[in-house]
Structure 1
Amino acid sequence: MIEFRKVRKVFEDGTEAIKGIDLVIPEGQLTALIGPSGCGKTTTMKMINKLIVPTDGTIYIDGEEIASKNEVELRRNIGYVIQRIGLLPHMTIEENIALIPKLKGWKKEKYEPRVDELMELVGLEPDVYRKRYPLELSGGQQQRVGVIRALAAEPPIILMDEPFSALDPISREQLQDELKALQQKIHKTIVFVTHDMDEALKIADQIAVMKDGVIEQYGSPNELLARPSNEFVRTFIGEHRMNGASPLFVKDVMSAFAAPSETNNMPAISSSASISMAAKELLNSKAEFLQVEENGETVGYVTKEDILQVVADKEGAPHAG
């Protein structure tokens, strides 16, 4: 758990970026910090790993005050993913991912299997990509490596600073889906800075909406959609999202019918994947249904009919005439 108590940040030019915030970030959940440019969301995140030091107030990690902690040791136990990926171009993908484990003194027989395991988690075949260099990968593939590099040394906390904002829309949506599916397996404490409300609603367990260095509202996506605390939050969320246009995921529409007898070769999809991803998978696989999985176990099924029903519901009642 990460806790901010009456934390302020005043920069040398006199700008009060953070105005005495109190915030508790739950362990094992993904918390999004969102707000307009200059609201203090990135400053708040960077104070967690002491890239920025608070002017006043206290920050705790698992009950321990971080002010007295060694910066290098603190950062080696906190994964960090940035917008511009930050891979070292002269190092292979394998070397980039193994960088922090090596700095922490891991032996080769420990970090090499870890590299392969993480690459497989995000769909990068180790035998194909391990020895390649960053510039030989697409932007989406590079960002996948950036994410798993932050996970390589098994840190309990991951900081993500607008990691998908520079990607094309398709790659961005795929990585959002993959992050949600990955989080279901690893249960890390993730602090995710974004300016995109749809992204926050889709991936976050908790959302802190910020404005001018203050947290205007903090709660689950459903709480924000149902009960925005003031006009700023309502406007920032957008009326169209509060009027039933919030994102839908596979778990929202899956069926729990009895499985057909032969399911071994049926494609599977995470319960946190988007409806559009499920539709693409159904089309690509030409399957009649997908098995829905959570934590490696089948929890239900999504069919073509389920997807069509979502489309029909979004379109509303048929027009007369």
Structure 2
Amino acid sequence: MIEFKNVRKVYEDGTEAIKGIDLLIPEGKLVALIGPSGCGKTTTMKMINKLIGLTSGTITINGRDISEEDEVELRRNIGYVIQRIGLLPHMTIEENISLIPRLKGWKKEKYENRVDELMNLVGLEPETYRKRYPLELSGGQQQRVGVIRALAAEPPIILMDEPFSALDPISREQLQDELKHIQNSIHKTIVFVTHDIDEALKIADDIAVMRDGRIEQIASPGELVSSPANEFVRSFIGEHRLDEGKKEMSVLDIMSEDPIILEYDESEFESIPHDATVAEAAALYVSKEPPILVVTKEGRRIGSVSRSNILEAVASKQRREAQSQ
């Protein structure tokens, strides 16, 4: 868990970049920091690994004040992914990924196995790409390597500074999907800086909307869209997204990507189309037992919807409706 308490950052010229923010980033969650240019989101993130020092207040990681931590050791235990990728061009892909594990004294067999595991995770065949150099890869492939390099030493925290913004739309969407898939497997604490509200809504567990060095609202994507805190947040989200948020939730919004359930015999479960609404899934429970498989038009299983998923979704909707009255 990362906690900011009344944190301020004032530069030597008197510019107050961060104006006394309080922020709680739960363990195992992906929290997006978003806002217009100059709002302080990157400064906030860089204070976590002491790339930027705070002026006053405290930042703690699992209760330990980072001001008392050695910055080299702190950074070796925090993964870091930047927009410009930052791969070392004179090192092979294998050497880039294994850099921090080697610095931490891992044995060769251990870090080589870790490299193969991570490359397979993002669809880069180790035998094909391990000995290549960064310039021999496409931009999207390089950024995949940048992401898994941050995971290599198994850090509990990963900082991501607009990592996909320089990519083409297709590569960007693919990497967003891969990040969601990876996070569902590893449950790291991720702080993700972005200027793209659609990206934040897609990948984040919680979103902190910033303006002028302050946090205007912290909420889940659903809560942010359904109940913006003020006119700034509302305008930043955009009216068309607010209108989308009023539509019926689909089963894709609440399903669990449970690999165990997907392996069961299909005859054991009911299934429902991926574009079905939560209300339709709830209706199916009148006469059927959970869980319900979620399938694509081609019949491929992509997840499941449980009783708890539906009840939580219905309760959340009722809370939002009550707040809007």
* Residue 289 (str. 1) matches residue 267 (str. 2): no
Q: Please list the CA deviations of residues 192-222 of structure 1 after superposition, one character each: whole Å capped at 9, or x if unmatched.
A: 0000000000000000000000000001011
Q: Distance in 2 between the 1:289 and 1:137 partners?
A: 34
Read off the aligned partner of 1:289 and give its amino acid letter.
Answer: G
Shift of the 250–79 alpha-carbon distance from structure 1 to 2, 3 Å rule, reads farther
Per the normalisation by structure 2, the TM-score is 0.80
Partner of 2:60 in structure 1? 60
Partner of 1:191 in structure 2? 191
Read off the aligned partner of 2:211 and give its amino acid letter.
Answer: K
Q: Distance in 1 between the 2:169 and 2:100 partners?
A: 30
Q: Distance in 2 between the 1:185 and 1:210 partners?
A: 29
Partner of 2:214 in structure 1? 214
For these two proteins, the number of residue pairs brought into alignment is 274
Partner of 1:231 in structure 2? 231
Per the normalisation by structure 1, the TM-score is 0.81
Spell out the pairing of 1:111-150 with structure 2 (5 A cutoff): 111-150=111-150
Q: Distance in 2 between the 1:79 and 1:71 partners?
A: 13
Q: Distance in 2 between the 1:245 and 1:122 partners?
A: 31
Q: Distance in 2 between the 1:254 and 1:73 partners?
A: 39
Residue identity over aligned pairs, in percent, reads 76
> Is the Cα contact below 8 Å between 2:226 and 2:245 reproduced in 1?
no
Deviation at 1:183, TM superposition (A): 0.1
Shift of the 253–19 alpha-carbon distance from structure 1 to 2, 3 Å rule, reads closer
Partner of 1:29 in structure 2? 29
* Residue 20 (str. 1) matches residue 30 (str. 2): no
> Is the Cα contact below 8 Å between 2:225 and 2:245 reproduced in 1?
no
Spell out the pairing of 1:55-204 with structure 2 (5 A cutoff): 55-204=55-204
Partner of 1:315 in structure 2? none
SS at match of 1:67: helix
> Is the Cα contact below 8 Å between 2:93 and 2:134 reproduced in 1?
yes
Shift of the 252–219 alpha-carbon distance from structure 1 to 2, 3 Å rule, reads closer
Q: Distance in 2 between the 1:71 and 1:194 partners?
A: 25
* Residue 252 (str. 1) matches residue 262 (str. 2): no
Partner of 2:280 in structure 1? none
SS at match of 1:167: coil
Deviation at 1:13, TM superposition (A): 1.4
SS at match of 2:109: helix
Q: Please list the CA deviations of residues 251-288 of structure 1 after superposition, one character each: whole Å capped at 9, or x if unmatched.
A: 33879999646xxxxxxx9xxxxxxxxxxx97xxxx82
Structure 2 unaligned runs (5+)? 268-273, 275-294, 306-325
> Is the Cα contact below 8 Å between 1:97 and 1:145 reproduced in 2?
yes
Shift of the 158–246 alpha-carbon distance from structure 1 to 2, 3 Å rule, reads farther
**Pairwise CA RMSD of aligned residues?**
2.4
SS at match of 2:81: strand
> Is the Cα contact below 8 Å between 1:32 and 1:193 reproduced in 2?
yes
Partner of 1:276 in structure 2? none
Q: Distance in 2 between the 1:18 and 1:12 partners?
A: 13
Q: Distance in 2 between the 1:233 and 1:65 partners?
A: 31
> Is the Cα contact below 8 Å between 1:100 and 1:152 reproduced in 2?
yes
> Is the Cα contact below 8 Å between 1:201 and 1:246 reproduced in 2?
no
Structure 1 unaligned runs (5+)? 262-268, 270-280, 294-298, 301-321
SS at match of 1:289: coil
Deviation at 1:12, TM superposition (A): 1.2
Deviation at 1:52, TM superposition (A): 0.3
Q: Distance in 1 between the 2:77 and 2:59 partners?
A: 16
